[in-house]
Amino acid sequence: MLGAIGSGVVNGSEAPIGVFDSGFGGLTVARALRDQLPNEDMVYLGDTARSPYGTKSIGEVREYALECLDYLAGTGVKALVIACNSASSAVLRDARERYDMPVVDVILPAARRAVRATRTGRIGLICTTATATSGSYDDALVAVRDVELITQPCPLFVEYVEAGITSGPELMQAARDYLLPLREAEIDTLILGCTHYPLLAGVISYVVGDEVTLVSSAEECAREVFANLADSGLLHDEPRTPRLQFLTTGSPELFAGVGSRLMGGFVDRVEQIYPM
Ligand code: DGL
């Protein structure tokens, strides 16, 4: 247990937004939130001690994700953002009922945007193995007619991002292996169904071709958070310098190092909440 804290209560617009990911990928969502909601405080929790989630069973991911979300809910946040496709896939059904506050995931907003973007109905999805096997995007699109989803797990991409590799011959070869079948399948829209992947948008677009529209689950999720807070009267409207707090279950030094390398100085003070 993370020393947790219950299921949370409704908190007002002054309270921070809680953002959860298995590790670093959710920082792309946090950055999109910072850009789209610059007056909002944030508490970010990365379960780096137990990441990656994308290679684990859905049952295991579900257990870890709910534990982390319970913890965040207990810190007094006003909304929960599940900034991880693998975790969203594992808890999509329960999370909204479990917490007494808005809960936004990354799957539904990205699936909706892809449906709006496609002209041919041929949508590609790249994601972790956990997200692919969960079928969460297929479920999200099941009611949409004339859309075909072609799924390609890309397990090596997370490793490249976390090693700071976003270009170079090895990554290019992996990208060709994963993405050329999607290109041959004549997709016109590609969902970046893992929150690490916006950091590889350059190489992904280069390989699939710039005629393919990339849908970032991070950007779409941030838009959805704005809409959700606006509808619930929970936006913080006053200009201010927001407080960003970073929590990790693993090493704070590692988190600060990888986080600020990936995000360009955006991650500074990091606290550990669960010595493993
Ligand atoms: N960022 C996570 C996602 O969106 C993947 C990273 C991991 O495997 O933990 O699925």
Q: pLDDT tens across 206-236, in order?
A: 999 999 999 998 999 999 999 999 999 999 9
Band (144; pLDDT cuts 50, 70, 90): confident
pLDDT of residue 6: 43
Q: Is 271 exposed, middle or buried (0-12, 13-18, 19+ CB in 10 A)?
A: exposed
Predicted confidence band at 3 (pLDDT cuts at 50, 70, 90)?
Answer: very low
Q: Is the CB of 217 within 6 Å of ligand 1?
A: no
**pLDDT-derived band of residue 276, with 50, 70 and 90 as boundaries?**
very low
- Does the pTM surpass 0.85? The reply is yes
What φ, ψ does residue 35 adopt, rounded to 5°? -70, -40
d(CA 50, CA 95) in angstroms, rounded, equals 20
- One DSSP character per residue, 22-54 reads SSSTTHHHHHHHHHH-TT--EEEEE-TTT---T
Ligand 1 atom closest to the CA of 193, numbered from 1: 4
- Integer Cα distance of 53 and 31 in angstroms: 21
Position in ligand 1 atom list of the atom nearest CA 195 = 4
54 lines ligand 1 (CB under 6 A): yes
Could you write out the DSSP letters of every residue in 147-206? -EEEEEE-HHHHHHHHTT--SSHHHHHHHHHHHHHHHHTT-SEEEEESTTGGGGHHHHHH
Is residue 61 within 6 Å of ligand 1 at its C-beta? no
Cβ–Cβ under 8 Å, residues 226 and 250? no
The two structure tokens encoding residue 193: 């169904």
Average pLDDT, the chain: 92
At 166 the pLDDT is 93
pLDDT in tens, 79-133: 999 999 999 999 987 899 999 999 999 999 999 999 999 999 999 999 999 999 9
More confident residue, 176 or 96: 176
Both tokens of residue 3?
């020393």
Instruction: Give 151 or 275, the one with higher predicted confidence.
Output: 151
- Predicted local distance difference test score (pLDDT) of residue 2: 54
Instruction: Give pLDDT, residue 263.
Output: 81
Alpha-carbon gap, residue 131 to 82, rounded angstroms:
14
Q: Domains along the chain?
A: 17-105+220-272 (3.40.50.1860), 107-217 (3.40.50.1860)
Q: Is the CB of 89 under 6 A from ligand 1?
A: no
Mean pLDDT of 252-263: 89
* Residue 84 alpha carbon, nearest atom of ligand 1: 4
pLDDT number for residue 210: 95
Q: Per residue in 145-157, pLDDT tens?
A: 899 999 999 999 9
At 275 the pLDDT is 53
Give percent above pLDDT 90 in the chain.
84
Residue 66: other Cβ atoms inside 10 A = 17
Contact by Cβ (8 Å): 48, 250: yes
